[in-house]
Amino acid sequence: MPSVVGLLEQRELVARRRVDELREEADRIQAELTVAERDWKEWAIARSRVGEVLAPAGETEHEREQAGRTAPTADGPAEEASSTPEAAKTKSHVPVWREGLAWLALSADYQRILTALANRVRLGQGPMTCQEMAALFGMDVVPARVEALRSKAKRLVARGWLAEPVPGRFTLARGVSGPGGGS
């Protein structure tokens, strides 16, 4: 009959082997994650550079700041919409807000963000976080969803549709109101 100590040593050996296997797997996954993150960052930089190259001719970052706008985001350059509001296509760029520009110039996702914030303003409530937006939209409040909303909100801030009075909290920019139009 085996001893209790011998049985414990066998179980300890099995557990230690399992830990070693999991550590090897974790190291392999960490290495893959590092490569994937580097690849992702390189693509984001490439998209940002293309946005800079495609910025309106002769317009420098200093000139954009003087005009009260920020530099283009990694999504692309700031561009003006035509005077006739048309429904935006999926994956369209966010036009720079100007007096009279209708919300129809934005895609549905951006319109949904503006509508939620317009409702907050109408109810006399303060700025909204991206976590609150995700919950309001019925999304899972997980980092991927929240960051996607944050990216869209930041793009709307950069184009003059939203303001970010406190980091991470968004509201409609001055002059932007109701879904019917830009003023």
- Looking at 55-69, 88-102, 110-124, 158-172, which range is the least confident one? 55-69
Q: Is residue 117 included in any domain, yes or no?
A: yes
**Structural domain containing residue 85:** 78-172
The pair of three-digit structure tokens given for residue 56, joined into one six-digit string: 């309106």
Count how many domains the chain has: 1
Q: Is residue 180 included in any domain, yes or no?
A: no
- Confidence band (pLDDT; 50, 70, 90) for 83? very low
Q: Is residue 56 included in any domain, yes or no?
A: no
Q: Is residue 136 included in any domain, yes or no?
A: yes
Q: Is residue 140 included in any domain, yes or no?
A: yes
Question: Which residues partner with 27 through β-bridges?
Answer: none
Q: For the whole model, what pTM was predicted?
A: 0.48
pLDDT at res. 100: 81
**CA 144 → CA 35, 87, 107, 147, 168, distances in Å?**
19, 27, 20, 5, 15
Q: Is residue 179 included in any domain, yes or no?
A: no
Q: Is residue 89 included in any domain, yes or no?
A: yes
Nearest to 63 by CA among 53, 51, 71, 74: 71
Q: Under a CB-based contact definition with an 8 Å cutoff, are residues 81 and 162 in contact?
A: no
- Residues in contact with 96: Cβ distance below 8 Å, sequence separation at least 6, in sequence order: 69, 78, 79, 80, 159, 160
Predicted confidence (pLDDT) at residue 40 exceeds the cutoff of 70: yes
**CA 1 → CA 47, 49, 125, 149, distances in Å?**
69, 73, 74, 64
End-to-end CA distance of the chain: give it in Å, rounded: 87
Name the strand (E) or helix (H) holding 149. helix 143-158
pLDDT at res. 72: 39
Please indicate whether residue 50 or residue 16 has the higher confidence score (pLDDT). Answer: 16
The arithmetic mean of pLDDT across residues 75-102, rounded, is: 56
User: Amino acid identity of 23?
Assistant: R
Q: How far apart are CA 145 and CA 63, in angstroms?
A: 34
Q: Is residue 36 included in any domain, yes or no?
A: no
The CATH code of the domain that includes 89 is: 1.10.10
